[in-house]
Amino acid sequence: MTLIKSISGIRGTIGGPTGNTLNPLDIVKFTTAYATFIRRQHPDGNNQIVVGRDARLSGDMVRHVVCGTLTGMGFDVLDIGLATTPTTELAVRFTQSDGGIIITASHNPRQWNALKLLNSEGEFLTAADGEEVLAIAEKEDFNYAEVDRLGHYRSDNTFDRRHIESVLALSLVDVEAIRAARFRVVVDAINSVGGIILPELLRQLGVECKLLNGEPTGDFAHNPEPLEKNLSGIMQEMRSGNYDLGIVVDPDVDRLAFICEDGTMYGEEYTLVSVADYVLRHTPGNTVSNLSSTRALRDVTERYGCTYSAAAVGEVNVTTKMKAVGAVIGGEGNGGVIYPESHYGRDALVGIGLFLSLLAKSGMKVSALRRTFPDYFIAKNRIDLTPTTDVDAILERVKERFAGEQINDIDGVKIDFKDKWVHLRKSNTEPIIRVYSEAHTFAEADALGKELMDIVLQMQ
């Protein structure tokens, strides 16, 4: 069983001993620490925290503990029920709340859940803020409200509608073009909140939708990470029917992957690349993704005479960089689209609206559209280490070994060669080094990654 405490919140498996799992006592502790932090940040705020959750089996249990703890701390709770991560983020902004808690473990399997913590802008906490929450939790110097100062609880299930309305109102979401295209799509909603909101979004866009795994039971029909190895069901459905597009999301609907009309993967790395191409075509500007994302975004950005920047891995690092360089589009290669015109958070609904607009205006089939972008392939490997291995020292030696190449060390070590790259990054949760590499063929990318793995192993 596992409990992972990080700057972005707390996640873990359900059941088992305290201090080593995500259980009611630890949920109370970290919710209290977060509420204490919010109180310090907003002593004169509106005293309200938004709570939303995905459909995980443990979600209702966690929700009751979180909401009860927040009211015990004297905060009013706005419970928006079953809601996507971006819906909850937007709800914080729409209501000018002091913060928000999203109860979701994103793409993790069914036994996991998590508390993801938001600031008053509906964005994930910065590293410094996250560290402060963890420090408060460690001290356990808590002060709960007296009976006359307990918070109040209310529920409001209107935020799906408001989220959809905000997507349809985006200037680059061409609702009329999408409606005129009369698309037929298949959606795999992985038995979570995507099964509630995505059919309604598509209905309002005039898209005919077949829904797979649409009941929000939290009993996932397959591994919920939207990777090809987990998507045989929707790929088979695409091959058997006359559909234009397959759409896949993770349980909290902040990651987005597409399936071509012939049942082949579009490539999750190319969700952001495609949307960025469409956005840059109409509003040229800078772009950002993390160090482990495809070089294709840089290529597309430079095609429009604009500047690409890389950020450390992690959504808050990407959004921080986007703000610093004034990016018009950004995100992560795992299918996460961040469009500041909407909000600074990964949002599959925004990604769908922009991609369908691109597809409608192009007049192409999805597979043909994919061929308009440069081909890259990413290989993902790992090096298992002993807990005593000095990973930082190893990475320094790797930098010295490749000093003649372009090096980026803001998050591990990334070595950029002329036509390929490799990124070595130590895990925050395990004694491993993640080794991601990219080239024009998978074989070449995998060979590069394994070459670096051999070098690291020789250094131990």
Active site residues: 106
Amino acid type, 204: Q
Instruction: Specify whether the CB–CB gap between 310 and 352 falls below 8 A.
Output: no
Which residues neighbour 30 within 8 Å (Cβ) at sequence distance 6 or greater?
5, 9, 10, 115, 133, 137
DSSP state of 108: S
Gap between the Cα atoms of 130 and 37, Å rounded: 9
**In the chain, what is the greatest distance between 2 CA atoms, to the nearest angstrom?**
67
Instruction: Specify whether the CB–CB gap between 333 and 290 falls below 8 A.
Output: yes
Rounded CA Rg of the chain? 22
User: Which H/E stretch holds residue 433?
Assistant: strand 432-439
User: Which H/E stretch holds residue 284?
Assistant: none
Give the DSSP per-residue string, 222-256. Answer: S-SS--GGG-HHHHHHHHHS--SEEEEE-TTS--E
